Amino acid sequence: MKTECDTKQKLLDTAMRLIWEQSYGAVSVDHICERASAKKGSFYHFFPSKSDLAVAAIDDHWRKLRPDLDRIFSPQTPPLERLAGYCEFVYEQQKQQMQRFGRVCGCAFTSLGSELSTQDEKIRKKSLQIMEWRCKYLAAAIRDAVREGLVPEQDCDAKARDLYGSVLGVLLQAKIENNLAIIRHLKPTIFRLIGVPEKEIAGAPSLHS
């Protein structure tokens, strides 16, 4: 009980960072331990296996992300501003990764999901869960936009998934192109998908608060 359990937290942080910047397959338990200044025995004291660590790291990363999403998608904010704010957040998050690592790293959750969902059911399930949670924020915003008459009537849950698909797609393109700029396409794209009038999309470039 040397240093409480910040060894565990250090391992979670380091693992998420390395996997995000590289990939699950390219990061070994030894690398994680070395960068976290922990020994292998400690690793396997806290986590039964490498893939269990990955699941725990996803959970931990999501936990740290939730306050931001709760703020962005606050019902206090007009629904279309929530969506615009989310696009801005996605961009800023990638920009921050770019500054730290010098590369566009995409979405950590879905990178793991893409790499491992055909092989590791635990990670697939977890990745899927995060996807569903994120869609709930989008669905609520769309629903409120419909209620306020800003966009046409539509299947909000299904549309939220379409929107999230576009987010994932753009992040994947940005990662492969290593180009932040295309993330700026995100806001007009999702506005089009929910039927915001084209003239409102063209004008008002970013946030208009």
Partner DNA sequence: TTTTCATTTGACTGATCGGTCAACTCAGGC
Partner DNA sequence: GCCTGAGTTGACCGATCAGTCAAATGAAAA
41 binds, among DNA, its own copies, none (CB under 5 to 8 A by kind): DNA
Distance from C-alpha of 119 to C-alpha of 96, rounded to nearest angstrom: 31
* 53 forms part of the interface with its own copies (CB under 8 A): no
Stretch that binds DNA, among 23-31, 72-80, 158-166, 200-208 (CB under 7 A): 23-31
In this chain, which of 35, 50, 143, 161 binds DNA, going by CB under 7 A? 50
116 binds, among DNA, its own copies, none (CB under 5 to 8 A by kind): its own copies
> Tokens representing 134?
């994120």
Encoded amino acid at 204, one letter? A
Where do the H-state alpha helices sit in 26-78?
A: 29-35, 40-46, 50-72
Residue that is written with structure tokens 């793991």 in the block: 112
CB-based burial label for 105 (10 Å; 0-12, 13-18, 19+): buried
> Tokens representing 97?
């990764």
In this chain, which of 30, 121, 157, 198 binds DNA, going by CB under 7 A? 30
- The answer to whether 154 touches 142, Cβ cutoff 8 Å, is yes
CB-based burial label for 150 (10 Å; 0-12, 13-18, 19+): middle
Distance from C-alpha of 165 to C-alpha of 169, rounded to nearest angstrom: 6
- Name which of 7 and 111 has its Cβ closer to its own copies: 111
* 28 forms part of the interface with DNA (CB under 7 A): yes
* 41 forms part of the interface with DNA (CB under 7 A): yes
* 22 forms part of the interface with DNA (CB under 7 A): no
Q: In angstroms, give the least distance from the CB of 113 to DNA.
A: 18
Distance from C-alpha of 72 to C-alpha of 76, rounded to nearest angstrom: 10
In this chain, which of 5, 74, 92, 128 binds its own copies, going by CB under 8 A? 128
Q: In angstroms, give the least distance from the CB of 126 to DNA.
A: 16
Q: Nearest Cα to 207, choosing from 96, 80, 93?
A: 80
Point out which residues bind its own copies (CB under 8 A).
Answer: 21-26, 101, 103, 105-106, 110-111, 113-119, 124, 127-128, 131, 152, 158, 161-162, 164-170, 172-173, 175-178, 182, 185, 189, 192-193, 195, 198
Point out which residues bind DNA (CB under 7 A).
Answer: 1-5, 7-8, 27-31, 38-46, 48-51
